[in-house]
Amino acid sequence: MTKRSLEQRLQEGPVICGEGYLFELERRGYLQAGSFVPEVALDNPQALKQTYRDYMLAGSDVVLAFTYNAHREKMRIIGKEDLLEPLNRQAIRLAKEVAKEHPEEEALVAGNISNTNLFNPDDPSSKEDVRAIFSEMVRWCKEEGVDFVNGETFYYYEEAKIALEEIKRQGLPAVITFGLMGENVLRDGYSVEEGCQLLKEHGALVVGMNCFRGPATMQPYMEKIRKNVEGYVGALPIPYRTTEEHPTFFNLPDGGCSCTLPTETTFPTSLDPLYCNRYELAAWAKEAHDIGVNYLGLCCGASPSMLREVAETVGRVAVNSTYSPNMDKHFMFGTDKSLQSHITSYKTKA
């Protein structure tokens, strides 16, 4: 089958994008929480390839090159600026290798740029520094042959706009998504729907939100975005039970914790008890799909099985849907006639 472009896939139905490599690779033991730099591309390429593969087989149409935080300033901070270009190119090359493995249709490969944590709206020189960071990363994306570039987790509109400009400069399609902090507006005062509308007018193919917020606190803003933006919109929440009082995972409390945490909050290494289950994520995916969200996925904290639930909810069959839950033959909760009744009848006492 001929590989369709992102725009062609969007025209034909929802596109699924698996994000969340950052937390997943930390959980697998290949990435340091805190600095969150994707050195795994160089240190453990097979671990990164397997993670790419797991998300793709769970339903992702996109293999997103893991270069989140792999920008010059971050690499300088950890004393490895010399590895900047090799890391970026390696992450893309590994993504391309995995994308070709898809048994039905070669997956799309997306380059990745993101919030730099360097942008300062009151410092013009910071804007030029950010532009230079994005310029070289997107140029490497172009040279390595990505299908589009995903610019993500921006909490300043102006930084997102710079990212879009540099992606367009290289002639690549752009997906741009905002990370909305707890004050419910972008840090430079724009509403998230206004920011999305402006980015769409400036030429982004897909605009929307990712990260920071779980389904419950992202969806109300996705509804505003959908009402205000013509064209394709995307939503990739974190799979945690954020609330109106605590809308992001940065300050999410855990009332059941019985120990003293070494961090100020549950973020990032004590969030486990605060997960949404897969059926809560499925309910969100249906709601998002029903209002016309075209590009769906999950961000930090997501597992492949969670992503598969999202994909299946919007009508997709993943390669690994063959392993989706089926309790018919479970020894105690199953309904198969071959099961022992003295065991199945005991389930409420187990």
Binding residues: 211, 299-300
C-alpha to C-alpha distances, 243 to 84, 103, 135, 185, 287, nearest whole angstrom: 37, 40, 37, 16, 17
Q: In this structure, what token pair is assigned to residue 298?
A: 């999950």
Assign 39 to helix, strand or coil.
coil
- The answer to whether residues 169 and 135 touch, using CB atoms and an 8 Å cutoff, is yes
C-alpha to C-alpha distances, 131 to 16, 42, 168, nearest whole angstrom: 29, 25, 13
Q: Which residues of 41-62 are buried (b: 16+ CB within 10 A; e: fewer)?
A: beebeebbbebbbbbbbbbbbb
Nearest to 98 by CA among 137, 62, 140, 141: 62
Distance CA(50)–CA(72), nearest Å, equals 26
- The answer to whether residues 54 and 304 touch, using CB atoms and an 8 Å cutoff, is yes
DSSP annotation of 256 reads T
Distance CA(273)–CA(27), nearest Å, equals 14
C-alpha to C-alpha distances, 51 to 19, 84, 110, 256, nearest whole angstrom: 10, 21, 15, 31
Binding-site positions for Zn(2+) read 211, 299-300
Assign 283 to helix, strand or coil.
helix
> CB count, 10 Å around CB of 108?
25
